Structure 1
Amino acid sequence: MRVLIVGGGVAGLAAARGLTAAGHDVEVFEAAPELRTEGGSVTLWPAASGILRQFDVDLDGAGRRLESLETWSVRGRKLGTIDLNVVERRFGGLHAMHIARRELVERLAEGVPVHYGHRIQAIDPDRAEITFTDGSTARGDLLVGADGRNSVVRQALWGENPSRPNGWVTWQAFTTLPTEFTDTGRSMMISNGRALGSVAPAGHGKALWWFDLRAKPGSAFWGDAPDLMDRLRERFGHWPEPFPTVLGHAQTAQFYPHYGHRVPPIWGRGPTTLMGDAAHTMSPAMAMGTGQALEDAWVLSRSAGDLRGYERARTKIVRRVAKMTGREIPSRQGPLAGLMPDAFSTRSTISWLRSASGYLQEEGRLQRPLAVPVAK
């Protein structure tokens, strides 16, 4: 089949690789004049690592393999650790990693022909046809909207954009300051129940730090406030290291409001479907957005002849994931994170990751339980 994909981000590039490997003739159309590499970094859980490996994406030397997720109190006491080495062994050697979005899309784009600078004027979902602003058209047997939260393909299918801010925002930036988290496999998270601070290594001597907090349009932490860094320092500068150090040196930070919406059971119509944020915009809490986009690509590459079946299969999982992330659980948990033994937290993480992934639910993905307990 001839497949047209709108959107050259993570979802679109991954789908192009998977569908091409499945024997389809694929073209990707991107409105931007070149590869979009903006953004911070993303966490790839074991399922995402496995799917990227299956799609022949070379991740050698990319990002940083994660070995532990540590939760700390605002007073500087370690509350608990999720052992990602155990998680990796339970999923047959598939590891978790943290990687700059720029590096991920560059690796995904290798060998994928993308038509850049193609802005869309109209979409005919019933004919899988695109009309571009220069008057040219493209028509396929299948049309995939992978064009993000403000998807033009989804607008042609659903009408109004269903995503809405959920009252939370992220402020984030990279740091190259040497800290105990920059060049290790450790990730740190602190929550007081009203805000979350986290830092994770992204490889190549970089780490991403970020804060998730409540904010509304027009408030002190929304948008381009000129004194934003001073406000972040005032609110979080007393938290444990490395936050005082990175905030003291940071000149600016990137702003990302959190959006979400109810995921419908059917996403498309006729020969047209959606994937990634176009189908299921979700909060970055729990780091699930990129992984769910890759799951979309994996399922779609195996069932391109049954689009409604693809949508129903993905809805069963992604609706639950979107609902969980929308609760902003990591930001709300606060000191409660220290009430669970490390072994229990690690087993719960294994269970959650499996429930959030059709890829991991396939027979043989989950290895037999380990005899060695996780130390507290």
Structure 2
Amino acid sequence: MADSPTLPRPPAGETPTVLVIGGGASGNAVTILLRRAGMDVDLIEARPDWNATTGSGITLQGNALRVLRELGVWEQVAASGYAFGSLGVTAPDGTVLFVAEDIQTGGRDLPATLGMQRPQLQQILIDAVRASGAGVRLGTTAEILDQDADGVSVRFSDGTTGRYDLVIGADGLNSATRAAIGITDKPEPTGMAIWRTAAPRPASVTRTDLAYGGPAYIAGYCPTGENTIYAYLVEACRDRAAIDPAAYADEMRRLAQGYGGAWPEITAHITDPGKVNYTWFDRLLVEGSWHRGRVVLIGDAAHCCPPTMAQGAAMSLEDAVVLAELLSSGQDWGDELLQAYYDRRVPRVRTVVEASVQIGRWQLDGVRDADMAGLIGRTMTLLKERP
């Protein structure tokens, strides 16, 4: 494959063609935005179900909600989720130690925070992609065959081929696109892992509450609708191969039984191992550039961080906005433009990744006088600025 060929914008009058590999938050978002700009976009997703049924819940802060509003789906998101504006910190027994007002990183006209069921968010984005008129192929992967000054040639897993002016790799943490273009960065475990599950919402749960200490490093929950929450417990990494998935509910329930407050009511519903997810925390930040020639990375393919600040989806959604804005600006689609995308995104993403990792590291190291509140406050204040 040629090394970083010059990438001119297609000639005037020709409609640019873009292939988006991956139908998660960033891939869906960039597809919607590029279609709105009048480009021909194909989106492929490896999973036949388009990830529409997986995941428990997601916490979206204001800067993520701002992007969802730009995508035109804010009303659906607001109707599906549960908005709130504060964060409680409790002792393991449930005693509330203090309540802090969340920073409205999306502006005063949006909630500070909204929780929702992850499959509902995905379905809202799926519907918006379909309504955009983009070409969609599910259960499909792509192999990059070659690229030159005129485009990128790809072969799809069904044996067909295609050629595009630009390929966007939005295929997640273990991105095959990232490896295919010669970027050798890989995600690294941070030493922590998380148990997650959905549950009915106790009447007392109207915001996220976090307990630090007890059987786990963090015990928390987030309301995701009038009748639902998702609950999570963060512990040190264990060998995933040594944990029988049939015992997932038992393992999570064992940890949860060490917490009071709303937790006994939540714990009573942790019974189905198929509804419990166990995942390690990872860190990734590709340095230098997020593109090689006509192939560019967004979202988790370029960066990821632990959910200790609930900013992973927000950073991915912001990538889509910035990249779509640059591609729609009328500038040549060359190295200069794609490098500008990286240069614009990386200081903000690096701040979030490093802060998210640091919060976990303080806990792993048992640092009792860490300025966690100060670090979170500084980072969230920065995110009030548009990306």
TM-score > 0.5 by shorter chain? yes
In 2, Cα distance between equivalents of 1:273 and 1:56: 25
Matching of residues 335-374 of structure 1 within 5 Å: 351-355=378-382, 357=383, 360-362=384-386
Question: Contact 2:63 / 2:105 at 8 angstroms: preserved in 1?
Answer: no
**Shift of the alpha carbon at 1:160?**
4.1
In 1, Cα distance between equivalents of 2:343 and 2:144: 27
Question: Contact 1:4 / 1:27 at 8 angstroms: preserved in 2?
Answer: yes
Aligned residue number for residue 29 of structure 1: 44
Aligned residue number for residue 373 of structure 1: none
Aligned residue number for residue 242 of structure 1: 262
Distance 1:40 1:331, change over 3 A: farther
Question: Contact 1:74 / 1:192 at 8 angstroms: preserved in 2?
Answer: yes
In 2, Cα distance between equivalents of 1:89 and 1:303: 23
Matching of residues 287-306 of structure 1 within 5 Å: 287-304=310-327, 305=333, 306=337
Aligned residue number for residue 224 of structure 2: 202
Aligned residue number for residue 118 of structure 1: 140
Distance 1:124 1:205, change over 3 A: farther
**Shift of the alpha carbon at 1:35?**
2.0
Aligned residue number for residue 370 of structure 1: none
**Shift of the alpha carbon at 1:159?**
4.8
Q: 1:98 aligns with which of 106, 115, 118?
A: 115
Question: Contact 1:73 / 1:335 at 8 angstroms: preserved in 2?
Answer: no
**Shift of the alpha carbon at 1:327?**
2.5
Matching of residues 178-327 of structure 1 within 5 Å: 178-181=202-205, 184=206, 186-192=207-213, 195-217=217-239, 223-224=243-244, 226-251=246-271, 252=273, 253-304=276-327, 305=333, 306-327=337-358
Structure 2 letter corresponding to 1:190: A
Structure 2 letter corresponding to 1:192: G
Aligned residue number for residue 64 of structure 2: 48
**Shift of the alpha carbon at 1:164?**
2.0
In 2, Cα distance between equivalents of 1:129 and 1:82: 52
Q: Report SS of the residue matched to 2:291.
A: coil
1:107 matched to 2:107? The reply is: no
CA displacement 1:285-327 (0-9 Å, x = unmatched)? 2111100001101101111231111012111111221122122
In 2, Cα distance between equivalents of 1:335 and 1:192: 12
Distance 1:172 1:5, change over 3 A: same
Q: Report SS of the residue matched to 1:98.
A: strand
Distance 1:80 1:124, change over 3 A: farther
**Shift of the alpha carbon at 1:103?**
0.9
Aligned residue number for residue 3 of structure 1: 18
In 2, Cα distance between equivalents of 1:18 and 1:89: 22
Q: Report SS of the residue matched to 2:290.
A: coil
TM-score (norm 1): 0.84
In 2, Cα distance between equivalents of 1:90 and 1:32: 32
**Shift of the alpha carbon at 1:146?**
0.3
Structure 1 letter corresponding to 2:256: F
Q: 1:128 aligns with which of 145, 152, 169?
A: 152
CA displacement 1:133-163 (0-9 Å, x = unmatched)? 2221122111100000121111112354511
Q: Report SS of the residue matched to 1:309.
A: helix
Aligned residue number for residue 71 of structure 1: 89
Question: Contact 1:170 / 1:255 at 8 angstroms: preserved in 2?
Answer: yes
In 1, Cα distance between equivalents of 2:173 and 2:304: 6
In 2, Cα distance between equivalents of 1:284 and 1:196: 11
Percent identity over the alignment? 27
In 1, Cα distance between equivalents of 2:345 and 2:35: 20
Structure 2 letter corresponding to 1:23: G
Give the number of aligned pairs. Answer: 348
**Shift of the alpha carbon at 1:352?**
2.0
TM-score (norm 2): 0.81
Question: Contact 1:80 / 1:337 at 8 angstroms: preserved in 2?
Answer: no
Aligned residue number for residue 170 of structure 1: 194
In 2, Cα distance between equivalents of 1:232 and 1:176: 16
**Shift of the alpha carbon at 1:94?**
1.9
Aligned residue number for residue 146 of structure 1: 170
In 1, Cα distance between equivalents of 2:251 and 2:127: 41
Gaps of 5+ in 1: 366-376
CA displacement 1:16-44 (0-9 Å, x = unmatched)? 11222233222111122232121121111
